[in-house]
């Protein structure tokens, strides 16, 4: 099995004719993802790569193709409207790659999504991949291999590093999810931990956090009481000074709750083995197996 996407995923790409949208649509198609439609207002009736029909609206695309998943590659000022448009069609999953989406806009969008029962991954995220089945987003398919390790991360680049370490040592992945590092995101650590715990083909979980906020502490409490599978973790930003944002918009220490030290302590209290560096991931998984 896999989490959130699989071979039944039928994808519509919002912003398919833009620079990023067109490049990553080709990457997703080459990986084997079933890209059934694209959306660029004003370009309806055209075809992407002489194969994928382009529509003016997501509603038209979903009605004609039965798309059940949307991915967003549009500029930040249009991204929330793109989320609304996708969710309003009834697709079950929306993945927003766009960064720089205003937090105030996301407060309204999350309520809209909840009312419709639509899952959002992102914004400001690399998306997700179920190796051998489908990828939605920008995670490089060539570094992944099929297997039984679930990966969930706030950091895009560290996601790639951890996947590379796993694959290089023969540890394939069931699904890898980059949830994004903004202060407000659609799918959090706990959502992914719950899904991995329920997935019979995921045998262990790697969780990559970073400074800022309290999501990692809440996830650690969830692991302690609800997760039976081995979990190993990493916290990025361990040398960041208080009050300075490092990387993602959400990676800012305020008081003591957002520090790497506090997050690592929470992981350890929950029985989560903590890496000192990403290269330690395989050794810790073997220790827990």
Span 30-78, pLDDT tens digits: 999 999 999 999 999 999 999 999 999 999 999 999 999 999 999 999 9
What's the chain's average pLDDT?
Answer: 93
181 versus 288: which is more confidently predicted? 181
Domain with CATH 3.40.50.261 in the chain: 139-288
Query: For the segment 129-176, what is each residue's pLDDT rounded down to a tens digit?
Result: 999 999 999 999 999 999 999 999 998 889 999 999 999 999 999 999
Task: Confirm whether 248 is a catalytic residue.
Answer: yes
User: Which residue, 198, 217, 200, 201, is CA-closest to 209?
Assistant: 217
Confidence bin at 289 (pLDDT 50/70/90): confident
| Structure confidence at residue 255 (pLDDT) | 52
Domain with CATH 3.40.50.720 in the chain: 10-121
Taking each helix axis from N to C end, the angle separating 189-198 and 215-226, rounded to the nearest 10 degrees, works out to 20
Distance CA(218)–CA(206), nearest Å, equals 16
What's the CATH fold of domain 10-121? Answer: Rossmann fold (3.40.50)
For domain 139-288, the CATH architecture is 3-Layer(aba) Sandwich (3.40)
**Does residue 252 register a pLDDT over 60?**
no
User: Which residue, 281, 268, 263, is CA-closest to 216?
Assistant: 263
């Amino acid at each position: 099995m896999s989490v959130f996407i699989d071979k039944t995923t039928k994808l519509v790409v919002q912003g398919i004719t833009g620079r990023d949208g067109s490049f990553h649509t080709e990457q997703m198609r080459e990986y084997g993802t079933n890209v059934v439609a694209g959306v660029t207002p004003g370009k309806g009736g055209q075809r992407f790569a002489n194969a994928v029909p382009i529509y003016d609206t997501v509603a038209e695309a979903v009605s004609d193709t039965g798309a059940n998943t949307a991915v967003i590659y549009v500029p930040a000022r249009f991204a929330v409207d793109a989320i609304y448009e996708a969710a309003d069609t009834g697709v079950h999953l929306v993945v927003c790659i766009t960064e720089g989406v205003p937090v105030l806009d996301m407060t309204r969008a999350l309520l809209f999504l909840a009312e419709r029962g639509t899952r959002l991954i992102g914004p400001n995220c690399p998306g997700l991949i179920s190796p051998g089945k489908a990828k939605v987003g920008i995670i490089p398919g060539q570094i992944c291999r099929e297997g039984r390790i679930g990966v969930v991360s706030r950091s895009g680049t560290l996601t790639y590093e951890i996947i590379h370490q796993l694959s290089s040592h023969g540890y394939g992945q069931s699904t890898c999810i980059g949830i994004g590092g903004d202060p407000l995101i659609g799918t959090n650590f706990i959502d992914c931990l719950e899904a991995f715990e329920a997935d019979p083909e995921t045998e262990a979980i790697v969780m990559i956090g970073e400074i800022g906020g309290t999501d990692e502490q809440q996830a650690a409490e969830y692991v302690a009481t609800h997760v039976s599978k081995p979990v190993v973790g990493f916290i990025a930003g361990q040398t960041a000074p208080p009050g300075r944002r490092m990387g993602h918009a959400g990676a800012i220490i305020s008081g003591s709750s957002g520090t790497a030290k506090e997050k690592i302590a929470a992981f350890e209290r929950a029985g989560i083995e903590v890496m000192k560096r990403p290269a330690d991931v395989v050794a810790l998984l073997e220790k827990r197996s």
